[in-house]
Chain A
Amino acid sequence: MTQTQLPKEPYNIIITGVGGQGNVMASRILSNMLVHQGYSITIGETFGASQRGGSVMSHIRVSADSTWSPQIPKGKADIVVTLEPIEAIRVLMNYGNPEVKVLTNTRPIYPVGVISGELKYPSKEEIQDAIRDLSSIAWFIDATDEAVKLGNPILGNIIMIGALAGTGLLPIDRQAFQEVIRENLPAGTLDTNMKAFDLGMAKVRQ
Chain B
Amino acid sequence: MSKLTDQNEGKQYLLMGNEAIARGALEAGISVASGYPGTPSSEIIESLAKAAEERNLYVEWSTNEKVALEVAAAASFAQLRSLCVMKQNGVNVASDFLLHLAGSGTRGGMVLVTCDDPGALSSVNEGESRHFAKMVEIPLLEPGDFQEAKDMTQWAFELSETIRSLVVVRSVTRMSHASGNVHFGKLPGTEKQAVFKYDGFILDPMEGLVISAPVSFKHKLQQDKLIKTREIFEESPFNKYFGPEKPELLLITSSACNLYSREAVHILGLQNRVGVLKMGTTWPLPPGLIKKYLSLNDKILFVEEVLPFLEENVKILAAEMAGEIGVKTFHGKNDGSIPMVGEMNPDFVISALAKLTEIDYVPMSKEYEEKAALYNIAKVPAREQTFCPGCPHRASFWSIHNALLLDNRKGFVCGDIGCYTMAIGSTGFRTLKTLHSMGSGTGVASGFGKLGQFGLDQPVLAVCGDSTFFHAAMPALVNAVHHKSNITLVILDNSGTAMTGFQPHPGLTVNAMGETMPEVDIAKICQAIGAKVEIRDPFNLKETQETLNQLMADKEGAKVLILRQKCALSPERKAKKYFEMKVDEARCLGENCGCNRLCTRILSCPGLFWDKDKKTAKIDEVICAGCGVCSYICPVEAIKREEVA
The residues of A with any CB-CB pair to B shorter than 8 Å are 18, 20, 28, 31-32, 35, 40-50, 52-55, 67-76, 86-87, 89-90, 92-93, 96-98, 107, 109-117, 119-122, 126-127, 130, 133-134, 144, 148, 152-153
Contact = CB atoms under 8 A, between A and B. Distances in A.
A67 B622 contact: no
B363 interface: yes
* Residue from A53, A92, A107 having most chain B Cβ neighbours under 10 A: A53
B493 to A, nearest CB: 19
Given A44-B178, A48-B122, A67-B180, A90 B259 contact: no
B426 interface: yes
15 contacts: A41-B14, A43-B180, A44-B177, A48-B122, A52-B388, A55-B383, A73-B346, A111-B382, A114-B609, A115-B606, A115-B609, A117-B601, A133-B375, A134-B375, A144-B622
A116 B600 contact: yes
Q: Which 4 A-B pairs have the closest CB atoms?
A: A48-B122, A70-B178, A48-B39, A119-B381
B608 interface: yes
Given A112-B427, A117-B610, A134 B368 contact: yes
Interface string B11-32: 0111000000000000000000
B591 to A, nearest CB: 11
A75 B147 CA distance: 28
B383 A18 contact: yes
Contacts of A50: 121-122, 385
B623 interface: yes
With most chain B CB atoms within 10 A of its CB, the pick from A18, A114, A126, A152 is: A114
Contacts of A96: 364, 368, 372
Contact of B121 (A18, A32, A46, A70): A46
A190 to B, nearest CB: 18
A98 B368 CA distance: 7
Contacts of A107: 622
A133 B372 CA distance: 9
Nearest to A40: B181
Interface in B333-392: 345-347, 350, 363-365, 368-369, 371-373, 375-376, 379-388
B388 A53 contact: yes
Given A53-B606, A69-B260, A73-B346, A93 B384 contact: no
A109 B606 contact: yes
A49 B499 contact: yes
Contacts of B422: 52
Nearest to A72: B346
B610 A148 contact: no
B597 interface: yes
A73 B385 contact: no
Interface of B: 12-14, 39-40, 121-123, 145-147, 174-175, 177-181, 256, 259-260, 262-264, 267, 345-347, 350, 363-365, 368-369, 371-373, 375-376, 379-388, 419, 422, 426-427, 499-500, 575, 597, 600-602, 604-606, 608-610, 620, 622-623
A175 B7 CA distance: 26
Given A90-B380, A116-B600, 10 more contacts: A49-B385, A53-B387, A54-B383, A76-B363, A111-B382, A111-B384, A112-B386, A120-B381, A134-B371, A153-B622
A41 B174 contact: no
Contact of A86 (B122, B346, B365, B380): B380
B382 A119 contact: yes
Contact of A126 (B14, B379, B602): B379
Contacts of B597: 117
Contacts of A112: 384, 386, 426-427, 604, 606
A199 to B, nearest CB: 17
Contact of B179 (A20, A31, A46, A113): A31
Nearest to B605: A115
B37 to A, nearest CB: 11
A67 B380 contact: no
A13 to B, nearest CB: 13
Contacts of B256: 69-70
Contacts of B608: 115
Contacts of A40: 180-181
Contact of A52 (B262, B369, B419): B419
B372 A74 contact: no
A49 B531 CA distance: 32
A69 B385 contact: no
A107 to B, nearest CB: 7
A69 B375 CA distance: 28
A153 B177 CA distance: 26
Contact of A92 (B372, B384, B426, B622): B372
A75 B363 contact: yes
A67 B426 contact: no
A71 B345 contact: yes
B381 A121 contact: yes
A185 to B, nearest CB: 13
